[in-house]
């Protein structure tokens, strides 16, 4: 039986540094747990533009379509700000999402006990937080047509179109309900049905899917702006949140900062099943490429490591090993080891990117 395949795209900025730590962890799972992967690596974003003049080559796109999962570091940086929009680094990531049909973006917001003090919210509000935002990723205002900047009556007009079909809403709703069945069986759907027709359709379809096939799931509806307010007022009222592309982008960033550091948050983007039954999938940390600290050993690799843990769980059916890796990260944090983004004045031991990765491996060893 062939090993599961994994395409690694380190990308730009701190991407190669944090991905180097994931490489070490992949090697550990092969050596110590007999869990072997066929790993290949390629370019995306600014790195691909520098080498090929495009943020993602057709050849790399074809590889991404064939493997069991893609793990991406980060893309972008000020060196590429003046490029034409069509070849900016972020277009490589958007192409991956669109052509792989990765319609469901899973963004967990979990507050490790050791990091509760990093949130701007009171510890009692944030401690023990464990929510999941499911964001529709391939439609809505980021992809709707018409779009662009046009001349109209002697002035420029910027146009983006919010567009959803019943089928697009249906499938992301099902992804959220299936996930909720593995959690606390509660879903809150967020839109703007009070002012947007797309929101009305969203609410109707999500409710219909629940009533027809998921009667065991408790479903509530909330306007997205009220949802943002509730996320910072009482975040633990939520379990799974499902929402559209634009609101999901905003709400997941709000949820990310509840935990105190973007450097800790992974994400998964899941698509339609392949021939082997596994969904097409791309895993990436929520944070950006942080070019200001690239190459200095200051980057926090935990979000990228936790993204690999999500790959273990959702693409490779290795839930027990995913738990092992997540516990290793939590144990490292509980012992006070910190990259600069997580440093506190007291009780913290400074660590480089590589030292943090080594500490995670030490905890994996201790788990055996």
Q: Which residues are catalytic?
A: 142, 192, 225, 249, 253
Spatial distance between the Cα atoms of 96 and 84, rounded to a whole number of angstroms: 19
DSSP state, residue 2: P
Compute how many other C-beta atoms are within 10 angstroms of the C-beta atom of residue 254. Answer: 16
For 307, residues 6+ apart whose C-beta sits below 8 A from its C-beta are 22, 71, 266, 267, 268, 283, 284, 285
Report the half-sphere exposure of 25 (CA within 13 A, side-chain side). 33
| Residue 71 CB-density burial (10 A; 0-12 exposed, 13-18 middle, 19+ buried) | buried
Q: How many CB atoms lie within 10 A of CB 323?
A: 14
Contact 131, 109 (CB under 8 A): yes
């Amino acid at each position: 039986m062939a090993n599961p395949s994994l395409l690694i795209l380190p990308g730009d900025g701190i991407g190669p540094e944090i991905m180097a730590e994931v490489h070490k962890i992949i090697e550990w799972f092969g050596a110590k747990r007999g869990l072997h992967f066929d790993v290949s690596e390629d370019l995306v974003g600014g790195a691909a533009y520098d080498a090929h003049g495009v943020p993602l080559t057709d050849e790399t796109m074809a590889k991404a379509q064939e493997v069991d999962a893609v793990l991406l570091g980060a893309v972008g940086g000020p060196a590429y700000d003046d490029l034409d929009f069509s070849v900016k680094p972020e277009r490589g990531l958007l192409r991956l999402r669109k052509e792989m049909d990765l319609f469901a973006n899973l963004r967990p917001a979990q507050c490790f006990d050791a990091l509760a003090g990093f949130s701007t919210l009171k510890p009692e509000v944030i401690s023990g937080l464990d929510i999941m935002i499911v964001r529709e990723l391939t439609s809505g205002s980021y992809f709707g047509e018409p779009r662009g900047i046009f001349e109209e009556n002697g002035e420029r007009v910027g146009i983006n179109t919010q567009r959803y079909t019943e089928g697009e809403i249906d499938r992301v709703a099902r992804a959220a309900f299936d996930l909720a069945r593995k959690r606390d069986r509660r879903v809150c759907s967020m839109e703007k049905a009070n002012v947007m027709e797309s929101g009305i359709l969203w609410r109707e379809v999500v409710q219909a899917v629940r009533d027809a096939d998921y009667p065991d799931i408790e479903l509530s509806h909330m306007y997205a702006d009220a949802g943002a307010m509730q996320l910072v007022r009482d975040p633990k009222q939520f379990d799974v949140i499902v929402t559209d592309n634009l609101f999901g982008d905003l709400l997941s960033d709000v949820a990310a900062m509840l935990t105190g550091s973007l450097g800790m948050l992974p994400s998964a983007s899941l698509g339609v099943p392949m021939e082997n039954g596994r969904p097409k999938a791309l895993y990436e940390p929520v944070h950006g490429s942080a070019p200001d600290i690239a190459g200095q050993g200051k980057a926090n690799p935990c979000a990228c490591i936790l993204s690999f843990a999500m790959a273990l769980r959702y693409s490779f059916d290795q839930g027990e090993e995913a738990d092992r890796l997540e516990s290793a990260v939590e144990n490292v944090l509980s012992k006070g080891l910190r990259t600069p983004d997580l440093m506190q004045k007291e009780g913290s031991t400074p660590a480089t990117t590589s030292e943090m990765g080594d500490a995670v491996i030490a905890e994996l060893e201790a788990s055996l």
